[in-house]
Amino acid sequence: MLGVYISAQHIPSNRGSLRRSGYNSLKLLGGKAVNVPLGLIQTFLTIHLLSDKGYRFLILVHSFVQTIGYLAEFQSWQTVLHYGLKPYENKNIRLLQHVLRFSFLLDIFNCLFALAFGVICSIYLNHYLGWPPEWHYLGIIYSFCVIFTTSATSNGILRLLNRYDLIAIQGVVLVFVRLIGIVCLTLIGGGIQGAVIVWMLAAFISFSSLLAFALIQLHHHNLLKGFFSHLNEGMTKNLPGIWKFAWNTNLNLTFSLAYKQITVLIIEEVLEPVAARHYNVANKISEAIAKLIILLQSTLYPEMIRSWQGSKPSPLYKMAFQITLLTG
């Protein structure tokens, strides 16, 4: 029995969904608030270290990697929440582990596809990506970072267990490692090669920290025991429609997320370096204005699923009305 059930004390209450979502949004916003000054300092030092040309190249290769990652990713955090919330609240560990295994496998397949596609594109399409010929090899090396963009399942686990504070901390880790690395390069007189290494190291540490947070929380909730049992049951047993759901979320959200990165690539290619930098600054300001509502939208997802899958979905309509008033 202990291997099948979890303690009810870890299950969030169904009451106060909007309040809990707002509280989680403030946690994420707190991480963003820390990131803003750190990011500005890091950007200033990076431009000072690399000049406009070097910084433009770094942004180009990073946007390329992010675009490939977004296009390949199945947004499996939504799969974790949509199919894992009910087993979690019903204390059905076996079915929940089934969902997590499926989601982790999706991430692994995404990672392999994104890596192969990203490396091939960086080798054969570099002329269309706007990379200076003398730094082409750095773009190929940086393209391996695409494997560190596939962390949707870890993100979904932390959302499922209501640990948005750890997601906020992980976001700060990325910017903090970049800042420390760029400061060190500034002191020793590093160049573009060092900056590429620093950004790759930051991506690896950020990815590893999120995965570690997720695994620690699974262990804390006794959800790892017997995780690799019952592998012979198949990937989608007792999970009807999970493949259709995974593909739908991939097509809908992937292109909306990738649109932002593709826009950066186009702007960087069309405009002069100074004008492109001005665009990036203005874009960040406009994003900051809507940041709270965007964060609220992400934290509302599990609350909406909880209401929709509950015996009384009527609170979902009440929540939708409250959200409409709040966002307005």
Contact between residue 102 and residue 79 where contact means Cβ atoms under 8 Å apart: yes
Contact between residue 301 and residue 159 where contact means Cβ atoms under 8 Å apart: yes
Contact between residue 131 and residue 58 where contact means Cβ atoms under 8 Å apart: no
Encode pLDDT of 69-118 as tens digits. Answer: 877 777 788 888 888 888 888 888 888 888 898 889 888 988 898 899 98
d(CA 210, CA 154): 6
User: Which pLDDT score, from 0 to 100, does residue 280 have?
Assistant: 72
- pTM here is 0.74
Contact between residue 265 and residue 62 where contact means Cβ atoms under 8 Å apart: no
The more confident residue out of 293 and 162 is: 162
End-to-end CA gap in the chain: 48
d(CA 72, CA 53): 29
CA dihedral 88, 89, 90, 95 (to 10 degrees): -20
Instruction: Tell me the three-class secondary structure of 77-91, residue by residue.
Output: HHHHHHHHHHHHHCC
Average pLDDT on 56-60 reads 88
